[in-house]
Structure 1
Amino acid sequence: AIKGLKKSGVMSCAKHFPGKGHAQVDSHLTLPIIPYPVDRLESFELFPFIKAIESGVDAIMTSHVFFPAFEPCANLPATLSKNVLTNLIRNKYNYEGLIITDDLEMGAITERYGIANASELAFDAGADLLLICHTLTEQRLAAENLYKKAQNSKETSNRVIASLQRIEKMRTMIGTFPKTSFRQTELIDKHRDLIETVSEKSIKFLRYEKSAIPAGKEKKHLLFVLPMISALVKVEEEHESAGLTKLCSDFFTHSKQVIYNPTWSSREIINAVSVFNNSETQIIFFSYNSHIFRGQSEAIKTLSEGRDDFILAAIRNPYDLLEQQQVRTLAATFGFRTPAILALLRVLAGEKSFSCDGWPIRV
């Protein structure tokens, strides 16, 4: 993929170094710890990054995860670790491309360090680009602090120059693209059919109960249980939570919707659902990383008990489905943006076919 992108003149970025797939908590909220020894990390977590570097990846994004095997300072995330960014990426793997931080406004960083302090630590550790994705005052403060530090430190000044050279190298490559004057809406309209096709083909069912599929927009007594995405992460589009509600209510006009915070306890979720839940209700539960947020997982187990028509749709991470063996209808959208949700709703309404084959992951 990296070689193909490069051949087409597109920059590539491998993330999140040195890996975060086995994190047990969400770094948007708090600091995950991956405690494996070096030999395991090199053979598993680091393996795809090593191959990416060998393939000429243009940038590497860091992870806000603590790896005690690489970093002796307790609870110092990889993003802020010189042992990881310089000693490992630069020195051991001889990587010369850009090192980019993940968003420094995420909980794993802000709960311990603060954004301005973390910006300095990340830069000192070896990062070239510091992402502060939302708050202008924080962006300015971090820039001012780094500017002052560079004025007073030859080492920092030299590091700034080295990072600017790497950035300029990438800017030069980007600058070779022909300039376009397309509006965003024009691009969306131009590729709408492709987006819909990809989204529809991405809907996968692990298994299903045929009688559970509503198969009609006029179906009554449907209750959609939907995550409040904006309450969880700042780095995602905040309008998506409201968008889920509107999509479901517009598509299934007789349906009801309940919004839950993904971090709620099972009791809080069940209490919210109980307002509309009765013997005639069919529940369609959209999970959002329930394999991490145990309240969701426990609520799903309780709400699905004795209900053959209960549907669980994992709209963020498909691994949510693997711990819900009691649910007879399990689906994954591989995304919570509008095209993915619309594709699922069309399947549920019987307008589009779906498949249990062709999963891109081992399930």
Structure 2
Amino acid sequence: MKACSELTLKEKIGQLLMAGFEGFTPDMNIRDLLQNHFVGGVVFFSRNLDNPGQAFALTEELQRMAVAATGIPLWIGTDQEGGMVVRVRQGIAQLPAAMGLGAARNPGLLYEAAKGTAEELKALGINMNFAPVVDINVNPRNPIIDVRSFGDDAELVSELGIAAMIGFQDGGIASVIKHFPGHGDTETDSHAELPVVRHSLERLRSVELVPFRRAALTGAEAVMTAHVGIPLLSGGEPVPATLSREVLTGLLREELGFDGLIVTDCMEMDAVTQGIGVGEAVVRAMLAGADLLLVSHTYASQLEAVAALERAVADGRLPEERIDASVERILRLKKRRIGELRERNWEEARLLLENPQTLRTIERLREESITAVNREPDFCRLSPDVDTLVLWPQISAACKSEDEPVHDATLAGFLRPFIGAKLTERVYGTSPDPDEIAALASEAQRYGQIIAGIFHTASNPGQPALVRKLLEGGAKVIPVSLRNPVDLAAFPEAKGFLACYEHHPHTLQALARVLTGTAEPAGTLPVTIPVYISERGESDEHRSASVIESAT
């Protein structure tokens, strides 16, 4: 692999960039970027990944082009977080949603699962994972982090984040922890606008920064920036952290002592480009201390980024020494994580996918994540002899970071072997209207026990309206959260509820076993369900639910 000193300025600028493109094969745009602008990395989304064999062929072709152009292999990165944020969507091991991992609280199993996942990504030629998320989800209204976080406790997020990070690294790929300095206490989506964090530095040090500080001390190799504004650190103005020297150099490099790669989130997001454009944004990010710049979507923006960096050097605004420092870090980590490319064979790679040991480890994590809150003993247990109605929501992507679901499994198929009485399932609209709610509530009157699934109620108010209507009837109603259990705060009158954090078929199978008493719920709530006032006027707050709690 070439050294930084052997590269031309244009080649060095190329190494600073990771670019995305459309399609399952290299289009003319990405070919031009690799062959004529020497871009040093490619980012994959689900638009690029159809199946493992195609992914393997694509990484091989991209690497051949890059090595022919510069003699330096590419970063090939993706977001393989788990849950709803996975870009390789079939044919390899899939981690559960991070919040489900927070409920399982088993860092040893998580390390093994992350290591196995990394080995499979590496077999496909993907050498960088933009994961884990170590944001602390202290704001239940957060629209973008949500179940991508391990929970709302800094200690829990640190322990599990580091376990996943080390697992990915030990599996042979670069792990990029994110989103520095913390995206967990925000209420807007940085894809569309700049979220602002108005906490004191003392608060940031005691909460948001804790996982990053500990990860830096435990061998973190790469950190992704957040497009969030922290006015306290930027003279009162909400400058995006990605563009702030006070945040990237002052806080991350100098205070936390991090000397690995600083990777930006996509530089085309509105939170970072508003009023200045992509070209100016990438220059400011470099001046702030970033090393690797993601321009994930648009060919015109990618060319704009290259031209802006070249112009900034020519004008004397961006010293070449600053570029050299980043390129040295990039090449150092490429040497460690990629090395010299060797000839690879798909038939050999194929045998490394869906490793049975990794799949069983992940299945155990899913089993251990199922969480129950019983306000009456064993309330969240079905009787096999009572007619049962399952109401299941249509599930769709809840934010721009997610893809539409691959799995369309619902609960009834997993319950059927355990229920001897009548079992009916209805899949209802993502946000049912009053007519649908009335029709479902009328049908529910014919059943003695009802499972009511909910998913992302903040954007779908018809779901809690349906559950409240069901709770007014005389049947046993068990609400089940298929995403963030804070949604369950809307039902203080419920005598019990369950949380499973995602809708993967193996998770639903584990949920069915808990509902029918063939397995015990082992999960612990990783987020606090907001306080409500019970009928007796007492404050009631739940963090953990595997224990039986007295009725309120």
TM-score of the pair, normalised by structure 1: 0.75
Aligned-residue RMSD, C-alpha: 4.0
Q: Find the counterpart in structure 1 of residue 454 from structure 2.
A: 286
Q: Return 115-124 or 165-174, whichever deviates more.
A: 115-124
Instruction: Return the match for 2:441 from 259, 277, 293.
Output: 277
Instruction: Return the match for 1:88 from 241, 248, 251.
Output: 251
Q: 1:156 & 1:223 partners in 2: Cα distance?
A: 61
Instruction: Return the match for 2:399 from 233, 238, 252.
Output: 233
In the alignment of these two chains, the number of paired residues is 345
Instruction: Return the match for 1:163 from 316, 326, 342.
Output: 326
Q: 2:295 & 2:364 partners in 1: Cα distance?
A: 34
Q: Is the 8 A contact 1:249 1:257 kept in 2?
A: no
Q: Find the counterpart in structure 1 of residue 374 from structure 2.
A: 207
Q: 1:75 & 1:287 partners in 2: Cα distance?
A: 33
The CA deviation at 1:260 is 1.7
Q: Find the counterpart in structure 2 of residue 56 from structure 1.
A: 219
The CA deviation at 1:250 is 4.8
Q: Are 1:142 and 2:305 counterparts? A: no
SS for the counterpart of 1:52 is helix
Q: Find the counterpart in structure 2 of residue 256 from structure 1.
A: 426
Instruction: Return the match for 2:358 from 191, 194, 197.
Output: 191
Percent of aligned pairs sharing the same letter:
26
Question: Which residues of 2 match residues 1-363 of structure 1 at below 5 A?
Answer: 1=162, 5=167, 11-27=174-190, 30-72=193-235, 74-104=237-267, 108=271, 118-133=281-296, 135=297, 138=298, 140-154=299-313, 155=318, 157-175=320-338, 181-183=348-350, 186-187=353-354, 191-207=358-374, 210=378, 213-214=381-382, 220-229=388-397, 232-240=398-406, 243-244=407-408, 246-248=409-411, 250-251=413-414, 254-260=424-430, 273-278=437-442, 279-280=445-446, 282-288=450-456, 290=457, 293=459, 295=461, 299=465, 302-303=468-469, 305-306=471-472, 309-322=476-489, 324-348=491-515, 350=516, 352-355=518-521, 358-359=524-525, 363=543
Q: 2:523 & 2:312 partners in 1: Cα distance?
A: 58
Render the CA deviation track for 1:65-95: whole Å, top value 9, x for unaligned.
2222223464433233333223322233332
Q: 1:237 & 1:360 partners in 2: Cα distance?
A: 24
Q: 1:217 & 1:74 partners in 2: Cα distance?
A: 63
The CA deviation at 1:257 is 0.9
Q: 2:383 & 2:295 partners in 1: Cα distance?
A: 45
Partner amino acid, structure 2, of 1:145: E
State which structure, 1 or 2, has the greater radius of gyration over its C-alpha atoms.
2
Q: Is the 8 A contact 2:283 2:309 kept in 1?
A: no
Q: 1:27 & 1:215 partners in 2: Cα distance?
A: 46
CA change 1:8–1:182 in 2 (3 A) is closer
CA change 1:284–1:31 in 2 (3 A) is farther
Q: 1:347 & 1:182 partners in 2: Cα distance?
A: 37
CA change 1:212–1:38 in 2 (3 A) is closer
Render the CA deviation track for 1:39-59: whole Å, top value 9, x for unaligned.
222222223322222223111
Render the CA deviation track for 1:88-124: whole Å, top value 9, x for unaligned.
2223333211112234566655777766665554444
Partner amino acid, structure 2, of 1:97: G
SS for the counterpart of 1:276 is helix
Render the CA deviation track for 1:217-252: whole Å, top value 9, x for unaligned.
9965321124422xx323223234xx34x4346546
Q: Find the counterpart in structure 1 of residue 152 from structure 2.
A: none
The CA deviation at 1:269 is 5.6
The CA deviation at 1:353 is 1.2
SS for the counterpart of 1:247 is coil
Q: Return 43-52 or 322-331, whichever deviates more.
A: 322-331
Q: Is the 8 A contact 2:478 2:494 kept in 1?
A: yes
SS for the counterpart of 2:497 is strand
The CA deviation at 1:211 is 5.7
Q: Find the counterpart in structure 1 of residue 126 from structure 2.
A: none
The CA deviation at 1:158 is 4.3
SS for the counterpart of 2:476 is coil
Q: Return 322-331 or 246-255, whichever deviates more.
A: 246-255
Q: Return 206-215 or 194-203, whichever deviates more.
A: 206-215
Q: Is the 8 A contact 1:119 1:130 kept in 2?
A: yes
SS for the counterpart of 1:16 is strand
Q: Find the counterpart in structure 2 of residue 264 from structure 1.
A: none
TM-score of the pair, normalised by structure 2: 0.52
CA change 1:86–1:296 in 2 (3 A) is farther
SS for the counterpart of 1:285 is strand
The CA deviation at 1:216 is 6.0
The CA deviation at 1:301 is 6.7
Q: 2:276 & 2:428 partners in 1: Cα distance?
A: 36
Render the CA deviation track for 1:293-338: whole Å, top value 9, x for unaligned.
5847863773454256333333333443456433223222244444
CA change 1:312–1:141 in 2 (3 A) is farther
CA change 1:258–1:146 in 2 (3 A) is same
Q: 2:304 & 2:284 partners in 1: Cα distance?
A: 11
Q: Is the 8 A contact 1:225 1:273 kept in 2?
A: no
CA change 1:274–1:17 in 2 (3 A) is farther
Q: Return 168-177 or 13-22, whichever deviates more.
A: 168-177
